[in-house]
Each structure stands twice: as structure tokens, then as C-alpha cells.
Amino acid sequence: MKKEISRREFLLAGTAVAAATLAAPVVGASPAWESEGQRNMQSTTMPKRYLGDLEVSALGLGCMSMAGIYNPPQPKEKMIPIIRSAFERGVTFFDTAEAYGPFLSEEMVGEALEPFKGKVVIATKFAFSFNGTQATGRDSRPEHIRQAVEGCLKRLRVETIDLCYLHRIDPNVPIEDVALTVKDLIREGKIRYFGLSEVSPNTIRRAHAVQKVTAVQSEYSMVERVMEKHIFPVCEELGIGFVPWGPTARGLLTDKYNDFSQLDYRRAAISYFQKEALEANQALLAIIRDWAERKEATPVQVALSWIIAQKPWIVPIPGTTNPDHAIENIGAKNVHFTQAELAEIRNSIEKVTVMGVRTPDQTLADQ
């Protein structure tokens, strides 16, 4: 059995090839990985999936961190090649929002994907009002939604938004009013499909009764699994796709942040990176490392491919600002599990008490 490839080893092996590929991406080209573990990067064929009636690649690219949510905003000259390289490697589903930056992520995505109009699906989100680039609160009044959508269209350089989510619930506006406004915008050709982010099962049902919901987005990973019991049944019943953000658990499942002293913002901002939780969650990482060795893959590839294997209507959107990480993430499409292996993994991870995750009550409430 081959030795598991760590994320660090993967990155060292792939840096030169990734740089060359990103400088001049070619459709159908494959990086020249030689080791058996890194062969998971070679195939450029990306399986397709459906979110409701919307066809997308089985793995998307989240573009939030490019705009400085977890780090300083990154230069578009470095981010645009990552987005375009993902497309050349088969990714057709790209996720952004007006709040990311604000506006910077949409601008990068719009410029990066303009040459590929008609070949990609761009998802964005509305929900907030802004004073310049400062968010001033939630605002889902019909007139504000229309104003927000016009801004999104301009920044994304498109005539129609493929998938437009309500980013967060405005407690002052009934979800039915939001859904009706989006329904009108769909009729006008400005939006193709409607999505919801971080909402309760009841809100999903109420919105869906007015305008068909194509996708629900919320946090889900091998760490954060509460969605399985409360949101997945509603999605399956109504024919709604599920788009997990945070599929690598904010980087925990990359197997990079195992030493408390290594942590940056995560130490203070994310519950499952608190020292006690980080120590307790090493048991889960040990399981993932074992499967990475068995599959001749990296831990993050195992974490992403596990998500893909859960339901045919789930499409994770890992984000990154690192070209090597982007290539590594895409390689998850080449890691496969049998039903027996999935059962074995499930049995193992459910024996681990993961610390720092959301409670069932939190997932049942609009965020």
C-alpha cells in the first residue's frame, strides 16, 4: 500500500506544474503528475450533476475568499487565472455574492468568466444594503432586491444570473415576498433559478410554494453533518439541490491546521478550531488520513469525494486563493468509494464526538 500523500508533499510536487498550467491553460491538458497518489489530478473529465433542473459540474469553485473574507483581498491578476484554470479542468459552477468584498468577488468572477459565456453557471447572492463598500444591514424589500440584481448583473458581465440566492433572511420581509420578487425577475429574464442560503426547513417550503427553489446552500462537511437530518429530507422531497459551503471545514480537513500554534483567525473565530475542540477533532482527521492512504489520495480529496458520494444532488464548492490547492481539490472527482466503504466510513466517523459544530436547533432556524 502506498504512503498517504500529505497536503504539503502534494503542493511541493505540484507547484511548478500548476504555475505553468495556470499561466497558459489548455482545454484537455493534464498536469504531469508521476506518483500514483497524484494521478488523481490527471483526468480533465468532470462529471455533471443537477441542482433541481440546473446542470452543473459535480464540483464547483467557491470564490468568497478571493475577496478578502478570511484574508486580505487578493490581486485579481492572481485570482482570475485560478478561476479560468478551474474551468479548463472541467469546473463549470462558480459561486460568489455581492457581499464578498463587497463586490470584489463578483467583479473577479465576471472578468474571469466573460470569455466562457454560455459554458458556465454563475451563482451569486443578495440580501444586504451597503453604504459604499460597508454593509449596513439586511434588506430584502422587493425594490432593493431589484437594485441588488442590477448591480450583480453589471459586475458579473451577464444578461441573466444563472442561480440567485437569498444570502440571509431579512426578518422584516416575509419569504413569500422575496420569492415573488424573484419569480418576477425570472419572468423578466434577469434570473434563471432561485436559491436560498442558511434557512430553516419551514422557510424552504414556504419559498418553494411561491417560486421553485433550485438549490439550498449551507455549511456541510465530514465535521458539520447536522444538515443530513433536517435539511436533506426536505431537499430530497422537493427536488432541490444542496450546495455545501465550507466542505473542508474551513480548512480543518486539509490536515494542515493540527497544531494550535499554526492557526490564524481560525483560533478565535471558528468554534471547532478552539484548542480543546481541535485536539478532540484529531480523531476524525486520523480516520481521513487512513482513507487517504487507502485511496492513494490526499486528505482533502477524501473529504470532498465523501461529500460528493452522499447524494447525487449535492455539489460542494471548495474555495481557495492558492492555485495548487485548486488543482488538488479538483482531483477529488477521481476518488471513488463503494457502498461498503461508505458504510465503513460512516460507522467510523459517527463514533467520534466532534466538538464545535452547530446544534440541530441552530440548523432549524433561519440564520
Cα separations in angstroms, 91 against 31, 46, 110:
16, 7, 15
What 8-state DSSP symbol labels residue 5? P
Measured CA to CA, the distance from residue 344 to residue 324 in angstroms comes to 30
| Catalytic, out of 50, 70, 100, 220 | 100
Sheet with strand 161-166: strands edge to edge: 61-62, 93-95, 121-126, 161-166, 191-197, 213-219, 241-245
319 strand-pairing partners: 62
DSSP calls for 161-209: EEEEEE-S--TTS-HHHHHHHHHHHHHTTSEEEEEEES--HHHHHHHHH
Nearest Cα to 27, choosing from 109, 84, 111?
84
57 strand-pairing partners: 48
Measured CA to CA, the distance from residue 359 to residue 249 in angstroms comes to 16
**The three cell numbers locating residue 140:** 430584502
Q: What single-letter amino acid sits at 255?
A: D
Give the helix/strand (H/E) hosting 123.
strand 121-126
- Quote the Cα angle for 286-292-298, to 5°: 110
Catalytic residue status for 193: no
What residues contact residue 348 under an 8 Å CB cut-off, 6+ apart?
287
DSSP calls for 327-345: HHHHGGGG----HHHHHHH
Q: What single-letter amino acid sits at 276?
A: E
Can you tell me which residue has the cell 480537513?
253
Give the helix/strand (H/E) hosting 122.
strand 121-126
Catalytic residues: 100
